[in-house]
Amino acid sequence: MSTATKDPKTRGKAPAGEKIADWADGRVGLYSLAKANMRKIFPDHWSFLLGEICLYSFIILILTGVYLTMFFVPSMAEVEYHGSYVPMQGVMMTEAYASTLDISFDVRGGLLVRQIHHWAALIFVVGIMFHMMRVFFTGSFRKPREINWLFGWTLFILAVFTGLTGYSLPDDLLSGTGIRFMEGAILSMPVVGTYIQMFLFGGEFPGHDIIPRFFVIHVLLLPGIMLGLVAAHLILIIYHKHTHFAGPGRTNDNVVGMPFLPIYMAKAGGFFFLVFGVIAAIAATATINPVWVLGPYRPDQVSTNAQPDWYLGFSEGLVRMMPGWEWVIPGGYTLNFGLMIPLAVFPGVLVLIGLYPFFESWLTRDNREHHIAQRPRNAPTRTGLGVAWLVAYGVALVAGGNDVWAVNFNLSINAITWVCRIGFFVFPVVAFVITRRICLGLQRRDREKVLHGRETGVIKRLPHGEFVEVHEPLPREALYTLTAHDQDRPAELGPETDENGVRRKVSPLERLRVKISRGYFGEQAQIPKPTSEEYREITSGHGHH
C-alpha cells in the first residue's frame, strides 16, 4: 500500500477553509466583523500586558475548574475516610473534604490541577491589582474609560468573592475557620445580621447547606457574571482603543502599535502559553493549601496561622488591628465595634476606589477624551494618593499575618499590632508626602533636561577658569515626549461679585472643589512644564552652557 496517490486538484475549486469562511460570512457577516476588528491596533508596552495576565489566568481557572468539578462532591454529609492518604484513615469528614482528598491522591493529575487552580487564583487577583495600579497611575480611567474602570472594579470584587467561595469548598479546618469568621462578620451587622446569617446558612452554623450553596455560587453564578463582564470589558477596550504613552507620532487621536491580527494575536497566544507555563511550573513545585494535613472542619477545633487567602488579608488585618470594643445597648443588644468598624471600612474603601474616576472628572471639569496614558510623575497628587493607599493596604496585610511574622522573626505580636495600628494612619501620610516630592523632583528634572539638555558627564574648563559640565541638547523626539502632556490648572472661584456688583452665590461644594483642585494642581503640586518661548530663549544662545 505504498503507492503514492496523486490528488489532482482542480484549479478553480476553493480550499475547504475558504469555503467554510464563505459559508459563515454569508450567514453571520463574519467578514465585515473581522475586517473591522482584525486591524485594531495594540500598543507595545509591558504594562499593557498586565490585563492579559488576568485574562489568561481566568481562562486557566475555568479550564482547571471544570476538571475539578467532575470529581468534587459538594456535600456536607459525613463519611469515614478510606482513601489512600494514611494519616487520615478512618477520620470522619464531609464528602466535600473526602472528595478533595480523593482529587489530591486518587484522581489522575488531580493534585496538580488543584494546585494550578489555586495558584492561578492567587495570581489572577495579584494580576488584577497590578492591572488596576497601571490604569490608576497612568490616568487611563479618564474619559471615556470610566465605565470600563467600573467593569474592572466589579471584576476585582467578584474575583475576591469567587476566591472566598472557592477556598471554602474543600471544607477543611482552615477554610471552615474562614467561614466561621464570615459568619461572625455577618452577625456583627446591626439588626439584619442574624437574619442574613440564618438565611445564608439555612439555620445554625455550620448546618448542611453552606458548601452546596458556595459551590453553585463558585462554579456557576460568579464565573458566569465574570465571563460576561470580561467580554464587556474587552469589547469596550476595542471600542475605545487602547491608550498609549505620548511620543512622536503618538497623539491623542491615534494608536501606534501592532495590528491585532496577525502580529498581536500571535504574541498574545504565545503569552498565554507562557503564563500557563509559569503557573503550571509553580503548581508542580510548590504546595498550595495542603488540605490533607489541615484536617476536616469541626467547629470545636481551631489552629493558629489561620488566615484567608491573601486577597482577603486586608480585611483580616483590619480586624486584627481594631481593638475589640463592644457596647451592650439597652435591650441587651451587643454592638461589636471590633468587627463592625473594620467591616464597614472594607467596602467603604472599595467604593472610594470605584468612584475615583468620577471624583477626578468632577474635580477637573474636564470633558475632553483622553487617549494618552499619563506618566505618574505628571500627576503627583494622584500618584501620591495611590501610593498612600497601597501603603495602608500593605500595613493591613502585615497586620493580617501578625502571628506568622511574630514567630518567624521572633517579634512580639503585640508590638507588631501596635506598629500597624499607628502605621495605618501615619505611614500613608508620610508616603503621600514623599511620593509627591519625588514626582515633583522628577518633573523638575524633566524641565531641566528639556531646557538645558542632558548631562553628559564631560567637564569643560572655561577660559576664565570656571569648570562646567557640558549639556547635550535632547533630540527632538525626546523633547516632544517630555512636553506632550498638558497640565491641569487649578480651579478658580471666579469674581466675588457679578457684573451688577451683587455678591455671587457660590455653593459650598464648589468652594470645596476649588480647594481640592488647588491641592491637586496648584503651584506646590506641579512644576510648570517648559513653554516653547522659554525653550527658544534659552537655546537661542544667551550664554547658557
Partner 1 sequence: MKKLSVRRRHPLAALVVLLLALAATGGLYATLAPADEAQAEASAQSLAIEEGKKLYDVGCSSCHGSGGQGSSDGPSLTGVGAAAVDFQVGTGRMPLQQPGPQAEEKPVVYTQAEIDQLAAYVASLGPGPSVPNESAYDPSAGDAARGGELFRTNCSQCHNFTGQGGALTHGKEAPALDNVDPRYIYEAMVTGPASMPSFPNSTLPEEEKQDIIAWLHAVNTADSPSPGGLGLGGFGPVSEGLFAWTFGMGALIAVAVWIGARTAKARKS
| CA dist., res. 491 & res. 512, Å (int) | 10
Segment 440-499, which members bind ligand HEM (CB under 6 A)?
none
- One residue of 53, 116, 379, 451 binding partner 1 per CB under 8 A: 53
Q: How far lies 435's CA from each of 2, 191, 386, 503, in Å?
A: 75, 43, 9, 40
Task: Closer to ligand HEM by CB, 309 or 488: give it.
Answer: 309
- Residue 385 interacts with ligand HEM (CB under 6 A)? no
Identity of the residue numbered 251 = T
Position among 40, 50, 436, 517 found at the interface with partner 1 (CB under 8 A) = 50
**One-letter identity of residue 450:** V
Considering only 53, 159, 280, 491, the residue that binds ligand HEM (CB under 6 A) is 159
Q: Of residues 112-151, which lie at the interface with ligand HEM (CB under 6 A)? A: 114, 117-118, 121, 124
Q: Is residue 87 close enough to count as binding partner 1 by CB under 8 A?
A: yes
Which residue, among 189, 141, 132, has the nearest Cα to 160 in the 3D structure?
132
Using CB under 8 A as the binding rule, whether residue 351 contacts partner 1 is answered as no
Site for ligand HEM in 218-277 (CB under 6 A): 218-219, 223, 226
Alpha-carbon distance 369 to 366, whole Å? 9
Q: Answer yes or no whether residue 265 interacts with partner 1 by CB under 8 A.
A: no
Q: Which is nearer to ligand HEM, 171 or 488 (CB)?
A: 171
* 69 versus 456: smaller Cβ distance to ligand HEM: 69
Stretch that binds partner 1, among 7-15, 88-96, 482-490, 498-506 (CB under 8 A): 88-96
Is residue 302 a contact residue for partner 1 (CB under 8 A)?
Answer: yes
Total of chain residues touching partner 1, rule CB under 8 A = 77
- State the nearest-atom distance from the C-beta of 327 to partner 1, in Å: 25
Question: DSSP string spanning 14-27?
Answer: PPHHHHHHHHHHHH
Tell which residue, 517, 516, 497, 513, has the closest CA to residue 505. Answer: 497
Looking at residues 57 to 86 of the shown chain, list those that interact with ligand HEM (rule: CB under 6 A).
58, 61-62, 65-66, 68-69, 72
Cell of 521: 494642581
Minimum Å gap between C-beta 295 and ligand HEM is 14
> Are the beta carbons of 385 and 434 closer than 8 angstroms?
no
289 forms part of the interface with ligand HEM (CB under 6 A): yes
Could you give the dihedral angle defined by the CA atoms of residues 324, 329, 333 and 334, in that order, rounded to the nearest 10 degrees?
A: 0
CA gap 289, 314 in Å, rounded? 19
The correct pick among 91, 200, 265, 345 for binding partner 1 (CB under 8 A) is 91
> For the chain, how many residues are written?
545
* Contact residue for partner 1 among 289, 336, 383, 435 (CB under 8 A): 289
- 49 lies in the site for partner 1, by CB under 8 A: yes
Which residues, other chains included, contact 450 with Cβ-Cβ below 8 Å and sequence gap of 6+?
Answer: 474, 479, 482, 483, 529, 530, 535
Phi-psi region of 191 (alpha: psi -120 to 50; beta: other; left: phi over 0): left
Binding interface with ligand HEM (CB under 6 A)? 58, 61-62, 65-66, 68-69, 72, 100, 103, 114, 117-118, 121, 124, 159, 162-163, 166-167, 169-170, 218-219, 223, 226, 289
